[in-house]
Structure 1
């Protein structure tokens, strides 16, 4: 990694779950971060690193944002074809002499898959240093009131999915960020994909049981149809095509075991075990006790 004080790491999705955590890890190590996103910190908010306004669909300031950058963390926009804007940006970054690129993808989506697949493949084929993080579903989905699960847990105590008895290797965003930090800063680039999971694979019935056990909240997993799930996703503001894709992933989790896996990536890359769901819920117990009554 370059030592020049003028170089920095660009974090797209700068205020998001993983970018914000990576920014803190970079600051702890004295590495400069430029956090780029559609939203900026509010006055008075504690902020880590430099913040700039960034929109994938408006390239007017992209060259400026890439100045003095040697590595980029890539968070895709909510689109079925993010490569349409991401690949031109990566080309600009290559022209600006950026060497390392780390993409946040999904354990459900391989290099030849939809959505993130084309960007994954482009990095593999065209850049000198790269990694693709492929995490399972975030544990933070259960504590974030802006996420469908976090919101429904607070409103009704319920989780709504079309996964049936399908299992998922839920992972803490802190562990994803730790792997991402190493992918961005280690002297030797990974030049590979990294599938990131927690220590166990669980059904949503299992998740509800853990929440009940740890918090006392009468949580339950409500099994719904893919069509009903699509409607719920669209109600949060997601485009119909993207909402349908997420619902289809639930079907594949139920029928194909799409997310039923556990890897040693967190331990191998960071030297520590990933956090379990029970540990995560225990550490965030207070967020489950702020239930909003209907």
Structure 2
């Protein structure tokens, strides 16, 4: 596919400081695109134009949309009904001249499903050029700022209700690479794209790989659905906690035991495996004792 984009217009990245937003911003800039990096604090990112944006403050929408013709959408975190704030913004984006929208959803959420599934369902009726990225669970959940990563660092354990179920965990760098193509290729995908890594792994497999890479013993503790729901409910709204625990239960039943060739097809290269990502990210995080400044 030929990559073309009007460089006088900007790509608006909503959630530009997040796991996929920051990577999408960096890759767009590296490819020579003008980027408006939207976040609640208008955080400056190298090469991007910072702009304040808050899903719950429509007064921030106008400045964010000014001069943008494409938008990457990261839903508000932890909101069980993101459509309530996202759809008004998308109507305004269309009126402001945005003609392509790429939405971050999840492999477990189909069009019309819970949460962001309602936005997915509405997107084709709002924009003639669109894509919905439906990645599997992020590999960075075990290496970055996430409940699992925190539990690994603090307790040497991953706690889930996923049992022995396997997941095609995907690297956030690969999600961003697909997002860039979906945003800037001459032809929009105009479909939803299920993104996975190269293999399906259980959480026991993940624990073993993290143990081997870091040298610290990590285990996977198997929880019941009720235990997982209650654990999450102490950290987030009850409804959202129940939804996440339900996703673990679906994993245990085999819902995420798959891989797809989408990353290879859109980027021209194979997706990264979890061991490579763990070696890239966890070994660096563990490096202060060897003189690393990171």
1:96 equivalenced with 2:107 (yes/no): no
CA spacing shift, 1:234–1:37, aligned 2, 3 Å: farther
Measured at CA, do residues 9 and 168 of structure 1 come closer, stay the same or move farther in structure 2, by a change above 3 Å? same
Contact (CA 8 Å) 1:15, 1:39: kept in 2 or not? no
- Aligned partners of 2:94 and 2:126 also within 8 Å: no
Deviations 1:221-247 (A, max 9, x none): 0011223222332344x2221111101
Query: Residues 241-260 of structure 1 correspond to what in structure 2 (within 5 A)?
Result: 241-255=239-253, 257-260=254-257
Residue pair 1:183, 1:189 contacting (<8 A) in 2 also: yes
What residue number does 2:29 align with? 27
Cα distance in 1 for residues equivalent to 2:97 and 2:27: 24
Contact preservation (8 Å) 1:217, 1:288? no
Question: Map of 1:104-253 to 2, 5 A cutoff?
Answer: 104-144=104-144, 146-236=145-235, 238-253=236-251
CA contact (8 A) 2:163 2:252 kept: yes
CA RMSD after TM alignment? 1.7
Cα distance in structure 2, aligned partners of 1:16 and 1:165: 29
- Flag structure 2 segments of 5+ consecutive residues without an equivalent: 289-294
| Count of residue pairs brought into register by the alignment | 284
TM-score (norm 1): 0.92
